[in-house]
Structures are given as structure tokens and as C-alpha cells.
Amino acid sequence: MTTRGLRVELGGGVILHGVDLTVEAGEWVAIIGPNGAGKSTLLNAVTGLVPATGVASLFGRDVRRMRHRERARVVAMVVQSPVVPPGVTVLDYVLLGRTPYIPRFGRESAADLDVVREVLVRLELRDFADRVLPTLSGGELQRVFLARALAQEARLLLLDEPTSALDIGHQQEVLDLVDTLRRDRGLTVLTTMHDLSIAGAYADRVVLLAGGRVVASGTPPEVITESMIATHYQARVRVVDTEDGPLVVPIRTP
């Protein structure tokens, strides 16, 4: 996945000022940056959800030249706050991920249902299959949103703050699962992340976005530094190097 000079204007303001970003096949890249930096807008522009100028290409193809179904087979996204449709069961919701494979006026096949069942098992959602979405907890819902995206079987997975509603155990479970899928199936992963320690632990590369511009890009220890965080988040932190990546600890104001 590549962007070159990706520029987005919304509501009369420039939100992304020409972003250059490359995510290699099989790579996991985390976009970090303060609130309002343009992280969600960047993901939305990559999938064509918001109008952008410049280049956005998926595995060598211009996103804007791909038809909707075709694009949906290549890229799956979980937005930051997905709509929770009332009265829809978990099974039916996850089945929506199969839409790009189901003929226009046709029904899902046995193979589609198999994919959905496998995803439900992997995300420990089998017991929830018949529950309607509004009855689920925040963490359960987050897993359902991810399940829909995984059922789509796309090569590129875009996750906008996938773990913000999850407790630490489920955060780990979901991110480990994404990492396993990346290794087993060669998925390419682009996520935005709030938790910098977690971003550093999972991503191969970290891109720091601030004010709609890429201000740093590199390995986690290169980007997640005390001075970068002080400059761009106005936060006082200590960064401790560990085997699993930089650990970011906020320093309490005396």
C-alpha cells in the first residue's frame, strides 16, 4: 500500500498535507500521533471513504479506479466508532464481511458461512452468534467489528484504534490474533494506535503524524522517544527500552 502526496481537505481546512506512506506486503505499520493529527482521515482516504488528491494505491492499483466490490476484497477496515445497527445478530453482522463475494441478488454460500464460523471461533464469539449487537459489551462489540473485517478475507487490514475499548487481556488477544494472521496468511496491517507501548510492541514500523504531516517514521525505538513525545503530544514521559520495544511511562506532575 502506497500513498504519495495524499492531500485531504474537509470543511474548508487542509487535514492532510501531502502524506507519503508505504506499507510493504506483510508488514505491520502503526500510525501514532495526538488527537486530531489526521490518523483516521488517513485511513479513510486510503480506502476512498473521504475524497483525496495525490496517489493512493493498493498493491499497485489506484484505489479510486477500483470498483467498490473489488476494493472490498483487497482492503478491510474497522473504523474508529462503527455504527451499531439495532436488531442485527452477531452472525448476520459478521456475514456482512462476505458481501463482496456474494452475487448481487444471491445468497451467501456454505463456504461464506464456513468463513464466518471460523472467524467467530477464532475471536471467541461463537456463543454470541445469536445475540443482537446492542446487548454486547464494548469489548465484545470491538471483537465483532474485527470479526466482520476478518471475514472479508482482504490482504490489507486497516484498524482505527482497534483496542481502545478492550481490557489488557483482550487487547493482547486481539493484537496477537492479528499478528498470527499476518504471519500465517501474509496479511498487511496498518493500524492507528493510542497506546504507544503497544504500538511499539506490535508494529515493525511506526509513523508519527502531527498536524496532518508525517513528522517521523522508522522502527519503534527510532520514533517513540521522549523528545518526540514531548514535542508532538505535549506530554512528559519516560521511555524505557525493553526487548519488546519502547515502554512509555507518563511522569506525574509534582
Distances (CA, A) of 160 to 12, 136, 189: 24, 20, 11
Please identify, among the stretches 39-47, 55-63, 102-110, 119-127, the one whose residues bind ligand ADP according to the rule CB under 6 A.
39-47
Chain positions 39 to 68 lying near Mg ion, rule: CB under 5 A, are: 39-40
- Tell which one of 23, 32, 41, 246 touches ligand ADP (CB under 6 A): 41
In terms of CB distance, is 38 or 162 closer to ligand ADP? 38
What is the Cα–Cα distance from 226 to 206, expressed in whole angstroms? 15
Number of residues engaging Mg ion in binding (CB under 5 A): 3
- Nine-digit cell at 245? 520495544
Which one of ligand ADP, Mg ion, none interacts with residue 143, CB within 5 to 8 A by kind?
A: none
In terms of CB distance, is 212 or 246 closer to ligand ADP? 212
Which one of Mg ion, ligand ADP, none interacts with residue 41, CB within 5 to 8 A by kind?
A: ligand ADP
- Nine-digit cell at 152? 472479508
C-alpha of 92 from chain center = 22
In terms of CB distance, is 3 or 115 closer to ligand ADP? 3
DSSP 252: P
Buried b (16+ CB within 10 A) or exposed e, 138-161: ebbbbbbbbbbbbbbbbbbbbbbb
- Tell which one of 37, 207, 210, 214 touches ligand ADP (CB under 6 A): 37
Q: Count Cβ atoms within 10 A of the Cβ of residue 112 and give its class: 0-12 exposed, 13-18 middle, 19 or more buried.
A: middle
Residue 10 in the binding site for ligand ADP (CB under 6 A): yes
- Give me the least distance between CB of 18 and ligand ADP, in Å please: 15
Q: Is 115 within 8 Å of 98 (Cβ atoms)? A: yes
Please identify, among the stretches 4-12, 36-44, 68-76, 243-251, the one whose residues bind Mg ion according to the rule CB under 5 A.
36-44
Taking alpha carbons only, the member of 77, 94, 74 closest to residue 85 is: 94
In terms of CB distance, is 63 or 90 closer to ligand ADP? 63
- Give me the least distance between CB of 71 and Mg ion, in Å please: 21
DSSP 49-88: SS--EEEEEETTEEGGGS-HHHHHHHEEEE-SS----TT-
Please identify, among the stretches 6-14, 48-56, 79-87, 114-122, the one whose residues bind Mg ion according to the rule CB under 5 A.
79-87
In terms of CB distance, is 11 or 60 closer to ligand ADP? 11
Binding site for ligand ADP (CB under 6 A): 10-11, 15, 33, 35-41
